[in-house]
Amino acid sequence: MDSMIIAMLWDFDGVVVLTPHEEAWRLAAAKYGIDNFTSEFYYKFVAGRPRFEGARAILEHFGLLDKLDDISRDRLIESFAEEKNRIFNELISRGLFSVNHEALEFIARTRILTTAKFVHVLASASKNAARLSRSIKVEGRMLYEFFDIDVSGSSTSKKGVFAAGRGVVGSADCFIAIDDAPSGIEAARELGLIPIGFQNKDLVGYGARLVIERFRDLDPGVLINLCL
């Protein structure tokens, strides 16, 4: 009997690499006079969303787009998003990120299984992720090389990039998407993938079938059972 084929679609920021997106948004917001930018707001309305969508959500929530005409609104959203990206790149250049080695070790553990074949897909909507995965080296390998397929940056939305990953994999018995943000969990659910959350128990409320706290504690058999 052939082994079950399980495709795992991995978000990058906050799952594979802990990157300073929240801090970059907070610093950018402060420059625009927003001083009550909370983590709760970030994870609910900004995390995992395309840059301009996140910028719009912040500016709308804090009233900075009120009474502006369409052209002025678009210009403000664009300038705010670009300022956030500039700050993010500056933080990255200062080394303010960390690789989730436990995630990579989990991938390695799935490689030796005989009960199922895992196909690992790096699937981030961020073009920064596509760039970083080719500049970060871990144990002599570029980060993207730990994955079988990389579709990062192929779409500006989580739903689009997950769909792209599923399309590239083609035939599989089960598709799992792992993400740390509500937008990613919702996108996976809408596509009929099995949504798995990371380090945020509130993601169960958005449809996550399971929330992982530490990859070192995750038995691949748990994911196999979800696919049965």
Q: How many CA atoms lie within 13 A of 115 on its CB side?
A: 11
Domain span holding position 148? 4-18+98-227
- The CATH number for 38's domain is 1.10.150.240
How many folded domains does the chain comprise? Answer: 2
DSSP-assigned beta bridge partners for residue 6: 118, 174
Strands 98-99 and 17-18: antiparallel
Cα dihedral 49, 51, 56, 61 sign: positive
Which of 211, 10, 1 lies closest to 118, judged by CA?
10
- Give the pLDDT means over successive 10-residue stretches in the chain (228 positions): 89 96 97 95 92 96 96 97 96 96 98 96 91 94 97 94 97 97 96 97 96 96 96
Question: In the prediction, which pLDDT does 192 show?
Answer: 97
Q: Are 54 and 105 in a shared domain?
A: no
Q: Which of 30, 59, 93 is the last residue of a domain?
A: 93
Query: How many Å apart are CA 163 and CA 144, to the nearest integer?
Result: 19
Question: In the prediction, which pLDDT does 128 show?
Answer: 86
Q: Which of 60, 93, 126 is the last residue of a domain?
A: 93
Considering the chain, what percentage of its residues have pLDDT values greater than 90? 94
Which structure tokens are listed for 5? 């084929």
Q: Are 126 and 13 in a shared domain?
A: yes
- The CATH number for 135's domain is 3.40.50.1000
